[in-house]
Structure 1
Amino acid sequence: MQPELVIFDCDGVLVDSEIIAARVEADLITEAGFPIEAGELAERYAGLTFHDILLKLEEEAQIPFQASLIEKAEKAVDKALARQVQAIEGAIEAVARTRHPRCICSNSTAKRLDAMLTRTGLKPGFPDTVFSALDTPSRLPKPAPDVFLHAAERMNADPAATFVIEDSEHGIAGARAAGMRVIGFTGGKHSYPGHADRLTEAGAETVISRWADFHPVLAALAEWSETI
């Protein structure tokens, strides 16, 4: 089954932003009364919006967080990313070599995505094909499948012939719920021991840790049907 569409996650897949965001958010959450390290935050909650991270922490720890913390975190993360974010090694070349229709599906805001893609030099690879979950009709972020299905509809692609590359369990859950095939990615600085196993358990057909392996793996999977 040749791909009709290749969907790239952005944070932690194309740009090394997850660890930067985790450091900022962990500091703010710790200041608010729940001590947590950046590594733990990235491992447990990568792929979720900060709003959803706070909801999960409130449920687990029974600690209410002020709503103003969300806006504070968004501004602080944007500021840190503007200074520090870089493309993951090999990402620009991998995108350029992707001859199938391609797009980005992300939980980040359109403004943040534009800033990161511009800073890292990735923007030319996605001139009009960047989809933020927050701009879809439902506005539901991953792990909901909505942003993936929205992108497939806009790109005139069959979800069953769409391949997604994701670094988080939540992203993989959303892509699988959309009926898409998934390659896991562990090449970001936020990766941790056991990361690949968790992505496989979440539904990734295989996992890569560097962009040099992407196209051979995509070609191999395209020749193999999950129904075989």
Structure 2
Amino acid sequence: MPIDLRLVIFDCDGVLIDSEALCDRVVSAELHRVGWELSAAECNRRFLGLTFADIQLAAEAQLHRPLRAGWIDHLVRHVTEVMAAEVTAIPGAREALLATTAMGLPFRVASNSSHAEMAAKFARVGLSELVRGRIHSAYDMIAEGKRGKPAPDLFLAVAAAEGVAPANCVVIEDSQAGVQAAVAAGMTCLGFGPEAETESLRRAGAIPFTSMLVLPGMLRALRSVPT
């Protein structure tokens, strides 16, 4: 259904940056160290789209004890180091950002990752200049006593920063938590992922697609007829 589209909000991990497998590997290793032996695949299944604070809470519930002070800070540093050395961009990500701008649409990035992690990722893949001044982190919300995805707080803050109503925003997400956040914020959501995952994104409330290369056409279609 076409909308009066005025802002495109991109998730970072799994949408612009192919970082999730690397993050799962690090999270699995750090959880092993504290006594919870989860594989990287299981970490992906349980934690995709959630914050490290959510992961810490899950670990403490599983282990029946608190993790050491600074565990999240340590995890962020470890993840950031790995991203800076190994991460790659999602195919078509740069083209999607450039095409969005060429359509006269502003865009922003909204992620549960920290600013340090995102800076390392975007620098590694050469997207820093494109996204400079457009990045929002769930850690900003947490510092204000709010929540990251799947709560809508982050997306609502991004829309407010651009001065755009939620109904005029389109969110690009790859996780059920992200789709839930977009839907709760009252925004249209496009769900990016492999064919095998698109049905779960659809059920969560997204319009699914499987290649970033088709995203510009989808955005044009969404705004092709005025509401």
- TM-score of the superposed pair, with normalisation by structure 1: 0.88
Alpha-carbon shift at residue 11 of structure 1 (Å): 1.0
Structure 1: gaps (5+ residues): 188-192
Q: Provide Cα deviations, 1:52-75, integer angstroms capped at 9, x if missing partner.
A: 02313443x354351343232222
Q: 2:178 aligns with which of 157, 171, 179?
A: 171
Q: Provide Cα deviations, 1:153-196, integer angstroms capped at 9, x if missing partner.
A: 11011110100000111111111111101001116xxxxx8422
CA distance in 2, matches of 1:223, 1:62: 52
Matched with 2:214 is 213
Structure with greater helix share of residues: 2
CA distance in 2, matches of 1:117, 1:139: 26
Matched with 2:116 is 111
Structure 2: gaps (5+ residues): none
- Any conservation in 2 of the 1:3–1:163 contact (CA below 8 Å)? yes
Comparing 131-140 with 5-14, which one deviates more in the overlay?
131-140
Corresponding residue pairs, total: 219
Q: How does 1:182-221 map to 2 (within 5 A)?
A: 182-186=189-193, 194-204=196-206, 206-221=207-222
Q: 1:88 aligns with which of 80, 87, 90?
A: 90
Q: How does 1:90-169 map to 2 (within 5 A)?
A: 90-98=92-100, 99=103, 100-136=105-141, 137-169=144-176
CA distance in 1, matches of 2:210, 2:64: 36
Letter aligned with residue 195 of structure 1: E
- Any conservation in 2 of the 1:32–1:65 contact (CA below 8 Å)? no
- Any conservation in 2 of the 1:162–1:181 contact (CA below 8 Å)? yes
1:219 is paired with a residue whose SS is helix
Quickly say closer, same or farther: Cα 1:65–1:194, change in 2 above 3 A: farther
Alpha-carbon shift at residue 118 of structure 1 (Å): 1.8
2:172 is paired with a residue whose SS is strand
Matched with 1:43 is 45
Q: 2:21 aligns with which of 16, 19, 40?
A: 19
CA distance in 1, matches of 2:181, 2:222: 20
Q: 2:36 aligns with which of 34, 37, 40?
A: 34
Letter aligned with residue 65 of structure 2: P
CA distance in 1, matches of 2:177, 2:225: 25
- Any conservation in 2 of the 1:29–1:35 contact (CA below 8 Å)? yes
Q: Provide Cα deviations, 1:7-60, integer angstroms capped at 9, x if missing partner.
A: 00001110011111110111111232221111121122111112202313443x
CA distance in 1, matches of 2:40, 2:187: 31
Q: How does 1:1-16 map to 2 (within 5 A)?
A: 1-16=3-18
Alpha-carbon shift at residue 126 of structure 1 (Å): 2.0
Quickly say closer, same or farther: Cα 1:22–1:4, change in 2 above 3 A: same
- Any conservation in 1 of the 2:9–2:169 contact (CA below 8 Å)? yes
Quickly say closer, same or farther: Cα 1:48–1:224, change in 2 above 3 A: farther
Q: What RMSD over aligned residues (CA atoms) do the two structures have, in Å?
A: 2.0
> Segments of 4+ in structure 1 off by > 4 A?
none
